[in-house]
Structure 1
């Protein structure tokens, strides 16, 4: 009998606890999974070079309009990368089938996105869900999850996750270095008048093929030394474990300060609060798992690190819960949008991890909780992989859900007519948003007029000009100078995102013989200087403000003397003083 099959038979009898597998049995299974294959670098180099060439041919040198071509290019790319990570001397057929499935899934998602461009909202998030499915599926397949399912050893799965990350990063770095080498050689040959390399690098087919070959060769060589990577993985986790201590201390300070404020900080925070909280939760997840390692025998005996890992594991759920509260506040203030629905889904998944960790702490007690966390990781990874696959498939139209919610808010008076974003229905919610606008045009009064104006817009992000007699409705001026207004309007026509969804323009007078204005949004300030011919000088980056409001009016914005001049919103100074 094949040694792998003997190992798998023993695995099926295991209860999922890594400690239930004796070291010799585990070593035998790990040796099979991580064994060297001399032909691997050559096979992967040829395979990914061919994949790169096919991607170039299918994309027709950059054609992104044909759904079938884009789908084929994406399928070849993702299928090739999946094969590069999973191809094994003893599992060629299984790896080929798995890679084909990954390629078909991603190709199908890409085909649907291109075909339904502008018809469905949030398609980029569906593609991201497909990528997330692929990233989770690869290590699960490498660990043999399709054979042993939830009896798969956690240590093997965790090893493949880190090995994939390290080998993938190393291969990408090698590919970049290989291009630097080509540039250097091109310069060297250029000295003697040989332009062959420069001409080749200008060809799209060569770029894709060279990158694929370099990536495949590097990936093959690195994966032939995975035993060294496992040692490197241990070093990386030791180093990351050191970060667990300061992050744990910072987490305690944050939670205490937030609770002491009664949660007011969440109300006063900007839209950035949700991604920051989620990012911190992910950091806690990574560092906590780096400290608890693959088994109890490998955990650090340092009491400080053990306490830090306990704090991080316990802190994930509060962070994700506060992220849920934060996104709930935004939804209550501004209603649903496809982006907020996707954010909500991500938060739900994160909360599931945090809650599972709390259950592990409650049931495990003392040191037993770390085994339960590892057990939960495997179940959650498999479940999240399936959820990501379902989200990548267009089962639900989040644009339709969001449009229905926004119209309901308008009907209920939750949002005023002046604040209602007709342009978002036109451009951001897909066909469902435009259908909602069409229904609004059948109403009476200003609602029908504004809906019709938005529906007739032919340029994305064009300002709604129906409310102020030809002046963009989302621009409020604190001055009357028609010439300066015209300069600002022309500037914002070219840079419409500077005044989305609404802004107030302040005349700050002359500065070095140039007209100085400030374009104030609820979340940023942009200073623009105009020459006497109305041409703006390149403005500096916007100043991010702490205000959570989405809309502002002229009465909310003022200029006060404060070591120079400074902009205020609702009586509060924002940004830095200028002049």
Structure 2
């Protein structure tokens, strides 16, 4: 490169370097007072929201846009993002508590990231800002440039560490001194990031990374095979044993996002996807409807069992948004004929705008997940659907914002009205405990009255077997309360909804008098039969590992009538204990064994 060319390149890079350095220094200013801001919490949050969104958006758009236009576009993003974060903070007693809610912060980041390509195109090519091809190229171009910038910073500091180690051999510590000055390190990192963006832009990195598209398109067929195998296995395996947990829903939603991304890649890589990859993309678009529907079903099953929490509200919001995408993708792919790619491209732009509006709505007081969840949990207690001991009281006191605190006040009134001393104690612990684990530790002790109450309610088999109150020492209060509550869920004949079977269930004869199986009803309407293994010793009872169900339907697939029938048979002594690799309990078509925790 000649000297004039070098000067031109330096002048072109200087704005990006300066913007990066300024962004790093601004973040240091905020981080310096993170724990004890000199400003009011609301003003600190506003400054944090504005500077972070402004710096991030300007760095994302500079290159395709000049410095001044990128700064102007960043204002389009930063101002509404700041307003939305301040609205979201209204649900907390202290505004900065919002920053501890990872879900809301992630939603804000996602909304800002979605806005950047729309704003970039609106300022550069106003007539194409709603075109799929332009949006896809702008979005992937932003991701590619930012990834290169981050990679360049990582390489810079790795080289810095190696250089410092080398210079340290001759007692030169200048690089170490620079790294230890926080503001200088962040400012330098920002400058290096800006330099990386500038070089990527010079090399034509402003467009979509087609090599990445080519590589991702190779995943279409493998992902289609995995999804097809999963969907084909559902009729054989059933839904209840796999779903009903947020982890299942999260897996399904993550796979849905992967499927959507691959379909979009196929639509960007080829004008008219054809061949094996084209067929795979079309089938993935159709299958997306089923996967997103199962994700929504998994969340709803969890809510049906245990009520609302903020995490379940957000999970269902995301799942329903993905389900809408799945329905639209499937509709375009199934009925769009040969023109399905163009039809889906137009639909994706509309879906992106709708998703952005949904995220913005979730940050407003209209969707205060903490308040909605807290009101639901209190309502379940007042109607008798949930026991107070099952409430997430610590989360309500510390994580659910003002809505959770208001719900605790209502529970205080309920406890006073009903004379529920245990609930009053739990509410006090929830407010004073510094963590949920500390609250659990505070309720470890079990009272003599609770042990005696369980003994009075609990049928013991086989005939002649007994347990005493001392046998249940060492257990946590919530465990005994759970079992007492289950025993009080009477069977149709009026007998208890639980039974303890104590016998030769272990692998060796010396365990015969120590081991027992506790069967009790759980879940909505007591339809789920739970089986727990206990070992009785000098210090009381100890929980063993999980129970392995060798035969019979999984607990989640049992009906209420099946659970009641099994309990009644156990209470009547209609079971046998027989050896396998170790002795097992046979109760009807159910066979269980105890496996120690290793």
On whether the aligned pair clears a TM of 0.5, the verdict is yes
Pair 1:398-2:369 in alignment: yes
The match for 2:152 among 174, 185, 188 is 174
TM-fit CA distance, 1:78: 2.6
Look up the match of 1:426.
397
Q: Answer 1 or 2: higher relative contact order, Cα 8 Å, separation at least 6.
A: 1
TM-fit CA distance, 1:218: 0.6
The worse-fitting range, judged by mean Cα deviation, of 404-413 and 130-139 is: 404-413
Pair 1:354-2:329 in alignment: no
1:431, 1:89 → 2: CA distance?
Answer: 44
TM-fit CA distance, 1:235: 2.2
Look up the match of 1:235.
211
The 3 A distance-change label for structure 1 pair 123 and 424 is closer
The match for 1:86 among 42, 53, 61 is 61
1:393, 1:326 → 2: CA distance?
Answer: 26
The match for 1:189 among 167, 171, 177 is 167
Pair 1:337-2:309 in alignment: yes
Contact 1:403 1:436 in 2 (8 A): yes
Q: Deviations over 1:422-445 (max 9, x none)?
A: 444333432222222222322356
Look up the match of 2:264.
289
Pair 1:43-2:15 in alignment: yes
2:213, 2:330 → 1: CA distance?
Answer: 23
The match for 2:288 among 316, 319, 336 is 316
Contact 1:122 1:398 in 2 (8 A): no
Look up the match of 1:370.
341
Contact 2:64 2:206 in 1 (8 A): no
Contact 2:200 2:206 in 1 (8 A): no
TM-fit CA distance, 1:329: 0.3
Look up the match of 1:411.
382
The 3 A distance-change label for structure 1 pair 88 and 213 is closer
Q: Where do 5+ consecutive residues of structure 2 fail to align?
A: 1-7, 455-466, 484-505, 507-521, 523-545, 558-566, 571-577, 585-589
TM-fit CA distance, 1:330: 0.3
Look up the match of 2:52.
77
The 3 A distance-change label for structure 1 pair 294 and 412 is same
Pair 1:96-2:74 in alignment: no
Look up the match of 2:191.
213
Contact 1:562 1:577 in 2 (8 A): no
Kindly report which structure 2 residues correspond to 1:533-548, keeping only aligned pairs within 5 A, or say none.
none
Contact 2:249 2:299 in 1 (8 A): yes
Kindly report which structure 2 residues correspond to 1:503-514, keeping only aligned pairs within 5 A, or say none.
none
Contact 1:55 1:74 in 2 (8 A): no
TM-fit CA distance, 1:392: 2.9
Q: Where do 5+ consecutive residues of structure 1 fail to align?
A: 1-35, 509-521, 523-541, 550-554
The 3 A distance-change label for structure 1 pair 146 and 502 is farther
The 3 A distance-change label for structure 1 pair 455 and 120 is farther
RMSD in angstroms over aligned alpha carbons? 5.0
1:57, 1:214 → 2: CA distance?
Answer: 19
1:305, 1:338 → 2: CA distance?
Answer: 39
The 3 A distance-change label for structure 1 pair 159 and 575 is farther
Q: Deviations over 1:54-88 (max 9, x none)?
A: 22123226436553345424432331121122135
Q: Tell me the TM-score normalized by structure 2.
A: 0.70
Look up the match of 2:360.
389
Contact 2:26 2:51 in 1 (8 A): yes
Pair 1:437-2:408 in alignment: yes
Contact 1:120 1:429 in 2 (8 A): no
Q: Which has the larger radius of gyration?
A: 2
DSSP-derived class of the 1:272 partner: helix
1:479, 1:162 → 2: CA distance?
Answer: 67
DSSP-derived class of the 1:199 partner: helix
1:156, 1:574 → 2: CA distance?
Answer: 61
TM-fit CA distance, 1:136: 0.6
Pair 1:247-2:211 in alignment: no
Kindly report which structure 2 residues correspond to 1:59-74, keeping only aligned pairs within 5 A, or say none.
59-60=31-32, 62-63=34-35, 65=37, 67=41, 68-74=43-49
The worse-fitting range, judged by mean Cα deviation, of 155-164 and 39-48 is: 39-48
Look up the match of 2:517.
none
Deviating runs (4+, > 6 A) in structure 1? 118-122, 470-473, 478-482, 545-549, 560-566, 571-576
TM-fit CA distance, 1:132: 0.8
